[in-house]
Amino acid sequence: MAEQQTPLQKMAYAILNLDRRIIFTLVFLCVTAPLIWPIGMDFTPTKEVIDAFDDIEALESGSVVLISADYGPSSMPETHPMYLALLHQCFRRGLRPVILTLVPSGPGLANRGLLDVLESENPDGSLMYPGLTEGVDYAFLGYKPGGTAVMLGLGQSFITTFPNDYDGDATSKMPLFREVSRLGDCKYIFDIASVGYPEFWVPYAAERENVPLSVCCTAVSAAQYYPYYQAGQFKGLVGGMKGSAEYEQLVGMEEILGKIPPATNGMDAQSVVHILIVLAIIVANFFFFVSRRWEASEGGRA
Amino acid sequence: MNFIRRQLPVVIAFCFGVALWAQYYIPSRASNEALETFTGSWAIILAGCALILGILSAIHHHWTKIRLKRAGFGYSIVTLTCFAIVVLVGWFPIQWPGFAAVTIADGSFFDWIFLNVFVPLDATMFSLLAFFIASAAFRAFRARSFEATALLIAGCIVMLGRVPLGELIAIPGTNLSMTSIAGWLLNNPNTAAYRGILLGVILSQVAISLRILFGIERTYMGGGD
Amino acid sequence: MSVGTIIGLWLAAGLTIIIFSFIYKDNPLYKFGEHLFLGVSLGYGWCIYYYNDIFPNAIKPLQEISQDSKNALVLIPIILGLFIILRVVPSLAWLSRFSFALYIGGFAGLAVPNVISGVFLPQLTSTINPLGPDWPSIIKQVVLLVGVFCTVVFFFFSWEHRGAVGKIGRVGILYIMVAFGASFGYTVMARVSLLIGRIQFMLHDWIGSMTGGGG
């Protein structure tokens, strides 16, 4: 017959069999509380993000930057803030972004983000980027299926691959594409991706056409892209919401928006939830070993 | 007929594959134009048709469910009704009250549905994973072996080192912090392991490509005659 | 704020709550939201494919055949595309083999030279570098070289993992575990970010619009 359980053993049993809804509630509270009462933790941008930012800063005014917004609503909090910050940086530096997307749920968000940036106002109510013309200073090409086919197609011709832009206007009539006819004419590629497209942009576009490439990806895929960053195939690597928050800081999004930008705003909650999960892992492992030793000693006596 | 159905697709795959492989080494004007036609037009149209086939297949599945009144067919009615509404709104340039007279562009009813129905549903569906991954970490993440302990420690270092808090967990007077340790770990052992995996993946990709070109791998042809 | 925007905000907030109800348990309201999402995404996909792909790349060139005879070439992918769609008719499903053969064969041929010269060789060359110039760099280069070698050996199953190969493989699995741990840490981060995004919407956009602090 088993001996009377000690308080520690009882606690171990209770902790290891905790109702999952208690964990859910703790997660919810740890996300919500810092968003209502921000802590305002400071952070320093990492080298991976600074490299991407510096590359864009170093481009000559008027250079064309291809932005592939390969993300949809499912990864919006991680990638969309980066897209907005990059567009602000491009327009402020006088660069000309050509935007496209390779995921079907992408064009709605990319178009909305572009319009939000174009409609940005200074504190005095004037437009932040006045006089920009579609097809001259920027272009939004919309979505195309095929992934690598699109990348290789762009390497040959923008007009063949995208005969129309998202609004249905012919790209052949746009001055921008008379000047920049193919991917090789672009000075930089920036892939903002929630799916595995960055690893295809490397062989089928960046290496083939000899155009530098930087990537913003969801945190899920960030770790597996470090070999590309180390090899210099990605000039910069912006990983997840933290990476976006770092880019927001470098671009100065707080001054542009007049409020804390979304990714930066989420950093306190991110820290608090991570502490919760790390503590949960430590506590669960401690009680797991306590219960295992107890079971072993019980087994030994039996 | 057997040749047309079984052998001809393999011949087509071989001829096209070898031609496009050769194109890489012969970047003449003619070969570039051929590549432009294949990738910039043909492949894009074919990819679009494959995606439409996927949609038709989903519709067929739900239509069958409704027709046979299988369990949960009411939900299939919701799916097909929503599909019909969105196609009606997006495909036909009707002037919907309060919206711009455009089909899918900004200001359209279609765009409104995207921003207010599609975006919250898609984003919330994926955000549920935060709860389940926290629960899974609590229940299943155990240091049962040396390898599992390495995984657990690396996971905790990255979790703490890749948030602002990581900069606060530091040894005073040194550059050593959780952020710098996470950075070293990601840039060195992590890079090494993923590079090893990547090299293996590329070699298998090349092997699979060769198998397709030489007709050894034929699963793309599907079953049946 | 326009009426359309307000209705949209409330609709989005309602749908967010419906999906969040799954946290408690699976329920008919969640199932409704799930199927609503499926229907809307199918419809959205249909229109996006038509306006962004089928119309500009297939139908428009057909309409302009009289202006440029080269446009007639587009008939080939259109016919092959119809073959793909004919998979819904079982007796004609075999026709799609030609389309898939062209697509898959073509990209198999394209993949070989591109991935070897574009990824394999650059990744290999950046692994084997001259050591130096200082001790931290040497340590990093050795860690990298040893890690890549041991990981590749671990996945090499043609030799039995015993003796020296087994020991190298064990070092490899340690590297792999560290990398998977890093991926796990980042995955937690990603999932939490998505939740933060939704709570930000509920607090700042939805509740904020009621209290006048929306945006």
Q: Which residue has the higher pLDDT, B103 or B40?
A: B40
> From CA B113, how far away is CA A116, in angstroms rounded?
18
Identify which of A5-9, A190-194, B106-110 has the greatest average pLDDT: A190-194
Measured CA to CA, the distance from residue A272 to residue A218 in angstroms comes to 20
Given an 8 Å threshold on Cβ–Cβ distance, is A240 in contact with C189? Answer: yes
Bridge partner residues of A67 (DSSP): A99, A190
> What is the per-residue pLDDT for C130?
86
Give me the residues of A, 256-285, that contact C with CB < 8 A: 259, 262, 265-266, 269-270, 273-274, 277
Q: Would A296 be classed as within a structural domain?
A: yes
Note the pLDDT tens digit of each residue in A282-302: 999 999 988 888 877 776 555
In-domain check, residue A1: no
Is C112:B202 a contact under the CB 8 Å cutoff?
Answer: no
pLDDT computed for residue C129 by the predictor? 85
Residues of chain C with pLDDT under 50: 215
Same domain, A24 and A86: no
Rounded Cα–Cα distance for residues C54 and B48 (Å)? 7
The owner of tokens 């034929």 is: B218
User: Subunits that touch chain B (at least 3 Cβ pairs < 8 angstroms)?
Assistant: A, C
How many domains, chain B?
1
**Cβ contacts of C107 on chain B, cutoff 8 Å:** 20, 43
Cα(A90)–Cα(A103) distance, integer angstroms: 23
- Into how many domains does chain A fold? 2
B49 occurs within a structural domain: no
Question: A29 CB near a chain B CB, below 8 Å?
Answer: no
pLDDT at A1 over 50: no
Nearest by CB to residue A152, choosing from C55, C110, C190, is C110
Q: Write out chain B residues lying below 8 Å of A227, CB-based.
A: 191, 194-195, 198
Which ranges of chain B does DSSP label H, i.e. alpha helix? 2, 8-25, 29-37, 43-67, 73-91, 109-113, 119-127, 129-140, 146-161, 165-168, 178-185, 191-213
Percent of chain B with pLDDT over 70: 98
pTM of full prediction above 0.80: yes
User: What DSSP string describes A242-299?
Assistant: HHHHHHHHHHTHHHHHSS--HHHHTHHHHHHHHHHHHHHHHHHHHHHHHHHHHHHHHH
Domain around A277: 7-33+267-301
pLDDT at A131 over 60: yes
Q: Per-domain residue ranges for chain C?
A: 1-63, 72-126, 131-215
Distance from CA of B101 to the nearest CA of C (A): 15
Domain enclosing residue B185, as ranges: 132-213
Q: Is the pLDDT of residue B172 over 80?
A: yes
Cβ–Cβ of C186/A223 closer than 8 Å?
Answer: yes
Contact C92/B at CB under 8 A: no
- When CB atoms are compared, the residue of C4, C94, C197 closest to B224 is C94
Beta bridge partners of A207: none
Q: Please check whether residues A239 and A104 belong to one and the same domain.
A: yes
Q: How far is CA A251 from CA A255, A266, C97, in A?
A: 9, 17, 50
**Position A132: which residue type?**
L
**Interchain proximity C53–A143, CB inside 8 Å:** yes
* Gap between the Cα atoms of C26 and B23, Å rounded: 54
Judge: A156–B32 Cβ closer than 8 Å, yes or no.
yes
User: How far is the C-alpha of A45 from the C-alpha of B187, rounded, in Å?
Assistant: 16
The minimal CB distance from C4 to the residues B112, B122, B155 is found for: B112
Determine the 3-state secondary structure of A70 from DSSP. Answer: strand
pLDDT at B220: 85
Written as six digits, the tokens of A12 are 């171990």
The pLDDT assigned to B15 comes to: 96
Is the residue at A93 inside a domain? yes
SS3 of A189, please?
Answer: strand
Asked whether the beta carbons of residue B105 and residue A111 sit closer than 8 angstroms, the reply is yes
In chain B, what residues touch A112 (CB-CB under 8 Å)? 106, 111, 115
Are residues A119 and A20 located together in one domain of the fold? no
CA dist C98 and A22 (Å) reads 55
In a domain, B168, yes or no: yes
Contact flag C186-A239 (C-beta cutoff 8 Å): yes
Residue for token digits 């060195």?
Answer: B188
Mean pLDDT score of chain A:
94
Q: A291 CB near a chain B CB, below 8 Å?
A: no
Looking at residue B175, what is its pLDDT? 85
Rounded to 5°, the CA angle C111-C115-C121 comes to: 155
The answer for C42, left when phi > 0, alpha when psi is -120 to 50, beta otherwise, is: alpha
Q: C87 vs B153: CB contact, 8 Å cut-off?
A: no
Mean pLDDT value of segment A68-76: 96
Structure tokens at C200: 């930000």
One-letter amino acid for residue B194 of the chain: Y
For chain A, say whether B92 makes contact (Cβ under 8 Å): no
A206 and A175 fall within a common domain: yes
Count other C-beta atoms under 10 Å from residue B4's C-beta: 12
pLDDT at position B225: 58
Q: Residue A220 is which amino acid?
A: V
pLDDT over 80 at B93, yes or no:
no
A2 pLDDT more than 60 = no
Same-domain status, A274 and A214: no
Give the distance from CA C161 to its chain's centroid. 34
Please check whether residue B181 lies inside any domain of the structure: yes
C-beta atoms of A142 and C52 within 8 A: yes
Rounded Cα gap, residues B103 and B87, in angstroms: 10
Neighbours of B167 (CB within 10 A): 16
The answer, yes or no, to whether residue A276 has pLDDT greater than 90, is: yes
What b-and-e string marks burial along A117-150, b requiring 16 or more CB atoms within 10 Å of the CB?
A: bbebeeeeeeeebeeeebbebbbbbbbbbbbbbb
Inter-helix orientation angle B146-161/B178-185, to 10°: 120
Across the beta sheet with A237-239, what order do the strands follow?
A139-143, A96-101, A64-70, A188-193, A213-217, A237-239
Same domain, A181 and A295: no
Q: What is the CATH number of the domain that holds A152?
A: 3.40.50
Q: Produce one character per residue of A151-179: b if its CB has 16 or more CB atoms within 10 Å, e if not.
A: bbbbbbbbbbbbbbbbbbeebeebebbee
Work out the average pLDDT over A79-92.
98
B189-213: per-residue pLDDT in tens? 999 999 999 999 999 999 999 999 9
Cα–chain center distance at A169: 29
ipTM of model: 0.92
Assess whether pLDDT exceeds 70 at residue B224.
no
Quote the longest CA-to-CA distance of chain B: 80
Instruction: Tally C-beta pairs within 8 A across A and B.
Output: 182
Distances (CA, A) of A98 to A111, A170, A196, B1, B154: 12, 15, 21, 48, 39
> Which of C192, C202, C203, C211 should one mutate to test binding to chain A, selecting the residue with the greatest count of A CBs within 10 A?
C192
Between chains, do A107 and C52 touch, taking CB under 8 Å as contact? yes
Nearest Cβ partner for A27 among B33, B131, B159: B131
Digit-coded pLDDT (tens) for B33-65: 999 999 999 999 999 999 999 999 999 999 999
The residues near B44 (Cβ < 8 Å, ≥ 6 apart) are A144, A145, A146, A149, A150, A153, A161, C53, C57
Listed in order, strand segments (DSSP E) in chain A are 64-70, 96-101, 139-143, 188-193, 213-217, 237-239
